[in-house]
A and B are shown apart, each in its own frame.
Chain A
């Protein structure tokens, strides 16, 4: 388990704050709607999408079933091409390894490619406490880092910021860490991107160390793959002398050929493009091209434990495309920060409790952050049965936090626990409850004990709305037919 204190509020409290933030909700609604439509259009172009999806799911499931073998194969392949493989049991160990590796180069700064794994382990903070500055180079990550903020979306981490806010952040903060923003900077996205280009150019050319994650790691060849749009990934992977890649052990695929499935599934699901602008593939070190030293840190941090849960382990197939966020009615209203994890949305609700455990209320409440409408499963390119996982994790939470469940004294609460344990029952209960809401008026239903109290509070709905998310979603989905 990770020893990292995320220092974040539990979902219900954070969600209440977020639903009140009109700007955030407006940005999110517009953004998720745009990506959703783009995705649907490029997915519809392929008549074999379901077959690709079935293969993607099967390749990942297969890899996980032989993960020990593939990890060893990957290790020898990387070693054979001049790379060094490190293993990290948890976040603290991974951070220590990376810190030591950077220290050995004698450098005090590093450029970074957007990576979920390094966010998960809190690497930037660990490096900072060792006196090493880690510069995020993805435009959105740069915005978030300059503002000392937190990312809110896997793919578009600054989705909660609009252009004038970004201009303010650039004008206020850029000078503090390098090339300042031009004094006449406007809120035009072209100008803002240009300012980021100038600010980071200097860092790319000066940096001797780069830190990346990887979208895929090929066991057969030792190849790593980074999928991106801006070119900051290429800069980091190519220009510095030293490259350190932190890779979750679930990122493996067996063979080079398997990428033919994922390089079709990922860009279409993620940015809604037929292909993303840049995909970089590299193997160890190449004489005369790119870094001369290369280290991979294979990160466990709760993954092997998740692997032991027959149903829960499905979440390890995730290729972090973020399609499930963009279709989720709860995410759209609450935003990414409410999940209190680097993994927001439906996937976060099933991954976070497994990686961090359900001992704390923050993570234990996450599997309840869903209406079980099933839209996430429909779009998931590796067919993770997220609703089923949520129900499973709810049951596990109830089981493992035994004291918590026993404290719920009233039989009515037990009934609600039972209701929340099953999607069909929940659907029925929501319809019944919404009837209750109409009968008793807005104040008709009193506060319920945790977790339901916190959930209803957070959603600012003391009595159930006349229409549940689920009903609303089903009506809307069949209405505009933009999702399959």
Chain B
């Protein structure tokens, strides 16, 4: 593998240092942080649902006993047959799926072609953000590696109501920034043609969100 050049490194750092020479070096303590660390939200799940729906994602609300029904409903709405269910996804919610659909995991690792062939993927998420209608996947158990939620055209994401926070600061505080993460706010979209919004370019074109109230 190509070794980075020490010369270039020293030159860049050197000219940064000489640019800064004699200047004031700030301290992090003097950075004002007077914005709201926390927003007042009446009901986190309600705001989350409302905001996710504004991105034209399908949102369902349920409790844990009815969750499998909601998942099946979402898969049917998307006419999905082959469904990827990553390792670690709660069995109590995926069993009915396995009965009615061709469900498979990612171990042994699915080929790109197999993933391309899947109609849908079913995952949990680690945090939901109410104000922005965002789901954060840290790609831990039940969420799969990044490609799993990228290639299939439908993503069904279960969000535990207890994992919904008010806004971005609370979400980042919950996350462990040592691994890959994906923040998802609605289905993939573009406004590149005359600023007209079109859902679905490269990521999943259908996003179904199931908010499970009592978890």
Contacts and interface: CB of A to CB of B under 8 A. Distances in A.
Contacts of A137: 202
B119 to A, nearest CB: 16
Interface in B38-60: 51, 55
Contacts of B16: 67-68, 71, 249, 300, 304, 307
Task: Tell me which of B16, B51, B109, B139 has the highest count of chain A C-beta atoms within 10 A of its own C-beta.
Answer: B16
Contacts of B24: 65
A354 to B, nearest CB: 12
A87 B2 CA distance: 13
Interface stretch (B62-70, B73-81, B92-100, B171-179): B171-179
A269 to B, nearest CB: 14
B196 A189 contact: yes
A235 B146 CA distance: 9
Describe A's contact surface by its main secondary structure: helix
Contact of B112 (A65, A104, A239, A256): A239
Which of B32, B35, B55, B196 neighbours the largest number of chain A CB atoms within 10 Å of its CB? B35
Contacts of B191: 156, 229, 271
A224 to B, nearest CB: 10
B25 A66 contact: yes
Interface string A263-297: 11001000101111111111100101110010000
A465 interface: no
A238 B192 contact: no
Given A34-B195, A62-B30, A104-B1, A275 B132 contact: yes
Interface string B15-38: 111111001111110111111100
A274 to B, nearest CB: 4
Interface residues of A, number: 103
A54 B33 CA distance: 8
Interface in A351-408: none
B135 to A, nearest CB: 10
Interface stretch (A127-135, A190-198, A330-338): A190-198
A257 interface: yes
Q: At the interface, is chain B mostly helix, strand, loop or mixed?
A: loop
A190 to B, nearest CB: 5
A31 B190 CA distance: 14
B72 interface: no
A61 B20 CA distance: 12
Nearest to B170: A260
A163 B193 contact: yes
Which 5 A-B residue pairings sit nearest by Cβ, starting from the closest?
A: A231-B203, A231-B202, A308-B19, A275-B132, A279-B183
26 contacts: A30-B195, A51-B35, A66-B25, A67-B16, A68-B20, A104-B2, A139-B192, A140-B192, A156-B191, A157-B192, A201-B202, A205-B116, A229-B188, A232-B202, A234-B150, A238-B147, A263-B172, A273-B185, A274-B133, A275-B134, A277-B184, A281-B181, A283-B179, A304-B16, A305-B15, A305-B19
